[in-house]
């Protein structure tokens, strides 16, 4: 049964119809944003994202909130310009109906204007993640006012965030397209999954949940731009596993960054306590469909056993991000076999190849 809160019946139907049309689910496990030039999106719960980001900070030994805010702002500006989205030029945020609906679709929260004198102050209610929401709104404000702004935020509780913006004369060029080097095609057909939205609940303005978990859609473009802000500061891996991932074709700095991403996702998945049963290698197809495809992270095209201890080689052309893809499947492997996993990723003949084997050598008795 579909349950909704705090909205009229007509509002519920309109939201469900809007969200189904916007987030297009594909048979290859990817989800695309039909309103942002088919950019890929990752569906993730609020606690998982908070754990993901804190895991990145812990493993890198860096404070990354400001970098996330700036990459979110840059990504939002690019997505709006690339998709020819027209923002309201009004400074009365009550007239920002399309932008408000956009935030609700994505699960970001809601916003209201508090002060628009020398310094603009905006209250963001129920922000999904403070630095991200601050950066996204700042980009919208700059495009609306056609003026660059400095921004800062203050968040004392999870319920609200105060964002302050002040005009800045600095000349900052518009962001350019950023491409990813792995294969992530969306050539498959959209599918109609009637069960996907069955547990949808609208809890507050700008927030929604599935299975009781508050969700958000994060664009692939944002993750790629965050990498560019994160990478220069990666010097070492300060926590977690350091030598469990091998990334063919990457330099040591980017390999460390992807290991940080992957090991964080592996730990999050493992700690969630999922039951994963693998009796034959083809069981991996359904495991990936459940834990990757339902969240827009991709699928497994083919799989082959490579040893007698659970080792497999996975091939895919549908991948939101290799390190996230690898991290979740590594967590699945450890849940299934009860041993630490070693992963190796490479791109070969137009395909993404992931190899999962036991981290410790096992000998025949």
d(CA 217, CA 106) in angstroms, rounded, equals 5
Which residues contact residue 120 at a Cβ distance below 8 angstroms, ignoring those fewer than 6 apart? 91, 113, 141, 149, 164, 165, 166
Question: What pLDDT, on the 0 to 100 scale, is given for residue 141?
Answer: 97
Q: How far is CA 224 from the centre of its chain?
A: 10
Pick 237-358's CATH classification: 3.40.50.2300, 3.40.50.150, 3.40.50.720, 3.30.1380.20.
3.30.1380.20
**Tokens, residue 228:** 């560019």
pLDDT under 50 in the chain at which residues? 1-8, 363-365
**Could you give the C-alpha distances from 201 to 5, 13, 102, 291, 347, in angstroms and in order?**
7, 12, 17, 21, 40
pTM over 0.85: yes
Q: Domain residues of the chain, as ranges?
A: 237-358
- Among the listed residues 294, 347, 29, 23, the one whose alpha carbon sits nearest the alpha carbon of residue 188: 29
- For the beta sheet containing 341-348, the strands, ordered from the edge strand earlier in sequence to the opposite edge, are 245-247, 341-348, 351-358, 312-316, 302-305
**Tokens, residue 128:** 């999904």
d(CA 307, CA 318) in angstroms, rounded, equals 25
d(CA 162, CA 295) in angstroms, rounded, equals 30
Q: Is residue 162 a contact partner of residue 103, using CB atoms and an 8 Å limit?
A: no
Q: Is residue 309 a contact partner of residue 290, using CB atoms and an 8 Å limit?
A: no
Question: What pLDDT, on the 0 to 100 scale, is given for residue 175?
Answer: 95
Reduce the DSSP state of residue 111 to 3 states and report it. Answer: strand
Question: What pLDDT, on the 0 to 100 scale, is given for residue 11?
Answer: 55
């Amino acid at each position: 049964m579909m349950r909704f809160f705090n909205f009229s019946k007509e509002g519920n139907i309109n939201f469900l119809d809007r969200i189904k049309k916007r987030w297009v689910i594909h048979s290859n496990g990817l989800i695309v944003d039909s309103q942002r030039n088919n950019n890929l999106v990752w569906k993730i719960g609020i606690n998982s994202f908070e754990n993901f980001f804190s895991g990145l900070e812990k493993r890198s030994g860096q404070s990354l909130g400001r970098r996330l805010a700036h990459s979110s702002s840059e990504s939002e500006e690019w997505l709006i310009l690339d998709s020819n989205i027209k923002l309201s030029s009004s400074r009365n945020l009550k007239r920002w109906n399309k932008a408000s609906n956009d935030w609700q679709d994505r699960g970001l929260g809601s916003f209201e204007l508090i002060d628009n004198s020398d310094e603009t102050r905006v209250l963001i209610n129920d922000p999904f993640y403070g630095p991200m929401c601050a950066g996204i709104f700042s980009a919208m404000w700059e495009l609306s006012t056609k003026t660059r702004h400095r921004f800062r935020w203050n968040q004392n509780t999870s319920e609200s965030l105060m964002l302050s913006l002040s005009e800045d004369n600095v000349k900052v060029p518009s962001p350019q397209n950023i491409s990813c080097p792995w294969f992530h095609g969306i050539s498959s057909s959209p599918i109609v999954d009637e069960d996907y939205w069955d547990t949808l609940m609208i809890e507050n303005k700008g927030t929604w949940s599935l299975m009781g978990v508050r969700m958000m859609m994060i664009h692939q473009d944002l993750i790629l731009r965050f990498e560019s802000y994160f990478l220069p500061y990666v010097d070492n891996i300060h926590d977690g596993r350091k030598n469990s991932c091998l990334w063919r074709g990457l330099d040591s700095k980017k390999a460390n960054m992807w290991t940080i991403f992957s090991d964080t996702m592996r730990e999050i998945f493992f700690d969630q306590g999922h039951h994963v049963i693998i009796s034959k290698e083809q069981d991996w197809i359904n495991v990936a469909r459940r834990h990757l495809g339902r969240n827009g992270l991709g699928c497994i095209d083919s799989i082959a056993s490579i040893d007698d201890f659970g080792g497999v080689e996975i091939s895919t052309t549908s991948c939101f991000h290799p390190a996230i893809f690898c991290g979740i499947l590594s967590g699945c492997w450890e849940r299934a076999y009860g041993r630490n996993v070693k992963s190796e990723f490479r791109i070969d003949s137009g395909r993404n190849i992931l190899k999962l084997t036991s981290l410790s050598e096992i000998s025949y008795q």
